[in-house]
Amino acid sequence: MISIIAAIAENNAIGLKGKLLYWLPADLKRFKGLTTGHTIIMGRKTFESLPKGAL
């Protein structure tokens, strides 16, 4: 099974200049809970934007 998790603004934007459109700690915590222990596919720039040791 493949699942997609995305945060999309009303104008269909998903980010701007390598940054999230908004910073919601509860949202990031839920994302971590849903993805921990699973294979994640992401783009190079997303990977490079992660804090060192995030994966």
Q: Is the pLDDT of residue 55 over 80?
A: no
pLDDT value at residue 51? 81
* Number of domains within the chain: 1
Q: Is the pLDDT of residue 54 over 90?
A: no
Kindly indicate the confidence band of residue 16, based on its pLDDT and cuts at 50, 70 and 90.
confident
Q: Which residue has the higher pLDDT, 22 or 26?
A: 26
- Measured CA to CA, the distance from residue 45 to residue 25 in angstroms comes to 21
Average pLDDT over the chain, rounded to whole?
87
Q: Which domain holds residue 17?
A: 1-55
- Measured CA to CA, the distance from residue 37 to residue 8 in angstroms comes to 24
